[in-house]
């Protein structure tokens, strides 16, 4: 086994997928490292779910190569439960109870399955074990789906919109669960979601899917450190501020507010900008440094596109 196989659980190279004449995925490149919590984000209709379906062999790709735990998508069954995918809409037998659903999943596992009571506790669904799936709320159906997926103790978990249908407490539970399984058991996660604040909380790596390609990918720390530092300043003279900014190599960002100035200051200290303005007779009534976030990165890349 080569080094890349050990370090990566998923590798996608030049993936292409068409729906008729419409090219949804155009040469997508993505690698998920073993032990990562990797977020895949994109606008609605950007191809996130299509990408996951190609990875899992649920759709045939029109070009490129995919390796998941060193197997091709059509061989995924040979991984014997080492890969689990949980999609946005829960698809469980509505007439089985939660316990029966988990017991059935356990019977399908060849080895290394978790105890049913362990999974019930992990998802916090002790009060619903005798409920039929059809009688559960959407949030608890989501919990039951995740519980079913975890019975086999998978190495790689793919979650499509994992926070949909959950209340605040449910979101916290899922975030805690993902973090615990990742830190304590080394489980790798690929999370496809548009819930950027949640992904920023837990992801070690981020990939932004835009116009059928990965526009940006890397560790969250590196991406945020390399992002632009924006300074919002409310001033008494916007035109003079523009002149000073230009003369001092500060990048001007247009906005419609007659008093608010937006500057890309790079590595310049905000206090230096404040001193520059005040020294030149410009009154500063407000100064806010906007730290880089996943949402700001996402908006920079997808600006001009409808969400």
Quote the pLDDT of residue 227. 65
User: Given pLDDT bands bounded at 50, 70 and 90, which one contains residue 2?
Assistant: very low
Quote the pLDDT of residue 112. 61
Average pLDDT over residues 251-269: 80
Residue with tokens 């523009």: 242
Quote the pLDDT of residue 5. 42
Using alpha carbons, list the distances in angstroms from residue 23 to 63, 142, 203, 231, 303.
Answer: 11, 31, 29, 39, 21
Task: Kindly tell me if the per-residue pLDDT of 61 is higher than 80.
Answer: yes
The full set of domains in the chain, from first to last, is: 3-224 (3.40.50.300), 228-291 (3.30.70.250)
**Span 123-171, pLDDT tens digits:** 889 999 999 999 998 888 888 999 999 998 899 999 998 888 788 888 8
Task: Kindly tell me if the per-residue pLDDT of 1 is higher than 50.
Answer: no
User: Given pLDDT bands bounded at 50, 70 and 90, which one contains residue 4?
Assistant: very low
Is residue 82 packed enough to be buried (19+ CB in 10 Å), middle (13-18) or exposed (0-12)?
A: middle
Which pTM was predicted? 0.78
Average pLDDT over residues 171-187: 91
Average pLDDT over residues 235-248: 88
Cα–Cα distance measured from residue 51 to residue 29, given in angstroms and rounded to the nearest whole number:
11
Cα–Cα distance measured from residue 77 to residue 222, given in angstroms and rounded to the nearest whole number:
35
Considering the chain, what percentage of its residues have pLDDT values greater than 70? 94
To which H or E segment does residue 170 belong? helix 168-185
């Amino acid at each position: 086994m080569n080094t890349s196989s050990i370090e990566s659980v998923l590798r996608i190279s030049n993936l292409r997928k068409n729906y008729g004449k419409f090219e949804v995925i155009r040469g997508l490149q993505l690698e998920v490292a073993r032990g990562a919590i990797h977020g895949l984000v994109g606008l609605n209709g950007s191809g996130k779910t299509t990408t996951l379906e190609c990875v899992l062999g649920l759709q045939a790709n029109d070009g490129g190569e995919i390796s998941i735990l060193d197997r091709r998508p059509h061989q995924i069954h040979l991984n014997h439960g080492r890969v689990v995918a949980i999609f946005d809409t829960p698809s469980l037998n509505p007439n089985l109870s939660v316990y029966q659903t988990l017991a059935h999943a356990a019977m399908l596992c060849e080895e290394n399955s978790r105890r049913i009571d362990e999974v019930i506790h992990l998802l916090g669904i002790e009060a619903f074990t005798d409920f039929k799936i059809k009688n559960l709320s959407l949030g608890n159906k989501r919990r039951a789906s995740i519980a079913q997926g975890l019975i086999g103790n998978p190495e790689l978990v793919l979650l499509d919109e994992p926070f949909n249908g959950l209340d605040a407490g449910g979101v916290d539970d899922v975030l805690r669960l993902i973090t615990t399984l990742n830190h304590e058991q080394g489980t790798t996660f690929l999370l496809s979601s548009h819930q950027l604040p949640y992904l920023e909380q837990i992801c070690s790596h981020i990939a932004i899917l835009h116009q059928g390609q990965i526009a940006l990918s890397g560790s969250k720390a590196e991406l945020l450190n390399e992002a632009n530092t924006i300074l919002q300043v409310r001033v008494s003279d916007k035109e003079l501020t523009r002149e000073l900014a230009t003369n001092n190599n500060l990048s001007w960002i247009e906005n419609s507010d007659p008093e608010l100035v937006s500057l890309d200051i790079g590595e310049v200290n905000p206090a230096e900008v404040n001193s520059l303005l005040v020294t030149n007779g410009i009154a500063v009534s407000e100064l806010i440094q906007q730290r880089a976030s996943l949402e700001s990165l996402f908006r920079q890349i997808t600006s001009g596109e409808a969400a």
